[in-house]
Amino acid sequence: MSKEGGFRKRKHDNMQPRNRKEEGESKINPSSPVLLSFKSFQKELDAKHDKYERLVKLSRDITIESKRTIFLLHRVTSISDIEELLSESETRFGDIRRRIQQIAQELIGEDMCQFHRAFSPGLQEYVEAVSFQHFIRTRSLISLEEINRHLVFTPKKEEAENSEDPALSDSQDEKQQILYLQVTPTDYLLGIADLTGELMRMCITSVGNGDIETPFEVSQFLRAIYDGFTYIGNTGPYEVSKKLYTLKQSLGKVEDVCYTLTVRGSEIPKHMLADVLSSKASMIEHEEGM
């Protein structure tokens, strides 16, 4: 057999599987149960991914608004009209809770554990902000139960109120579904761990405004939180034990401020205390980083 003929034969052999494949694809039945099943799986996965992305966007919005609320609350120590700022922060919390309600609506009929990672950062930031406001008001730690109490939502009853038929209105009231999104203990602990950094900043700011009592109150509060976290130790979630080091740093800076106020408070003019303490905090950070 000539080389040319052999080449043609090999080319024909190579093309034959492709022809068989095309022939097999043309024989696929569009109404096959297997094909229909995979199409339904595709739709289900696409819907799940779309919902996950919507939850991530809602979590980012909650994080941004919570950070803005924290920045607002830091102004409480610098002005006299505290109640006005606390009232404004409560209005912002209302907007944040409406976004949390949207997350609860997205999770109707879903397993929350499958989507928890999508909105967990937003809830942690919300816990940090609302616990910071609670400390400013009461000088105490907000409980997990109290946080979750504000995350129970009743849908609006506009259709029932606009209905002229009382029977229809009553039937719609029965169909009203109470929505809720409960903060998990892990999200709560992570939010409280982040709160300690805001309290450390509040401590230094208060000294610059002539408030000498707040640093000692913050010091006792952080010591109690640190003792509570040490009871958890390495038995808790990895993220909690990881943030314990940052919590210890914040406590050390606040205690250093209290030490400076006690030992050298009478030597340093009040208008220079904030600069001295800020510089010392920066030195501590640099040494710990080294």
Domain ranges for the chain, please list them: 43-156+167-183, 184-290
Q: Of the candidates 145, 15, 121, which has an alpha carbon nearest to the alpha carbon of residue 60?
A: 121
On whether the CB atoms of residues 85 and 161 are closer than 8 A, the answer is: no
CA distance 108 to 180: 10
Residues 6+ apart with CB under 8 A from 101: 153, 179, 181
Q: Under DSSP, is residue 268 helix (H, G, I), strand (E, B) or coil?
A: coil
Q: 203 with 218: CB under 8 angstroms?
A: yes
Tokens matching residue 206: 């208060």
Q: What residue type is assigned to position 104 of the chain?
A: A
Same CATH topology for 43-156+167-183 and 184-290: the answer is: yes
Query: Token pair for residue 93?
Result: 């919390």
126 vs 1: which has the higher pLDDT: 126
Query: Cβ(59)–Cβ(120) under 8 Å?
Result: yes
- 211-248 pLDDT, tens digit per residue, is 788 889 999 999 999 998 888 877 767 788 788 888 88
- The distance in angstroms from the start CA to the end CA of the chain is 79
* Superfamily grouping for domain 184-290: Translin; domain 2 (1.20.58.200)
User: What pLDDT score was predicted for residue 266?
Assistant: 60
Instruction: Tell the burial category of 15 from Cβ atoms under 10 Å away from its Cβ (0-12, 13-18, 19+).
Output: exposed
Q: Averaging pLDDT over each range in 31-35, 46-50, 152-156, which range is the top one?
A: 46-50
Q: Do the beta carbons of residue 255 and residue 219 sit within 8 Å?
A: yes
Task: Point out the least confidently predicted range of 47-51, 115-119, 189-193, 285-289.
Answer: 285-289
SS3 176: coil
Kindly report the average pLDDT of the chain as a whole number: 79
Q: What is the CATH number of domain 43-156+167-183?
A: 1.20.58.190
Unique residue bearing structure tokens 């999508």: 118
Helix (H, G, I), strand (E, B) or coil at 237: coil
Residue with tokens 């006299």: 80
pLDDT per residue over 68-110, tens digit each?
A: 999 999 988 655 678 888 999 999 999 999 999 999 999 998 8
Banded model confidence at residue 157, pLDDT cuts 50, 70, 90: very low
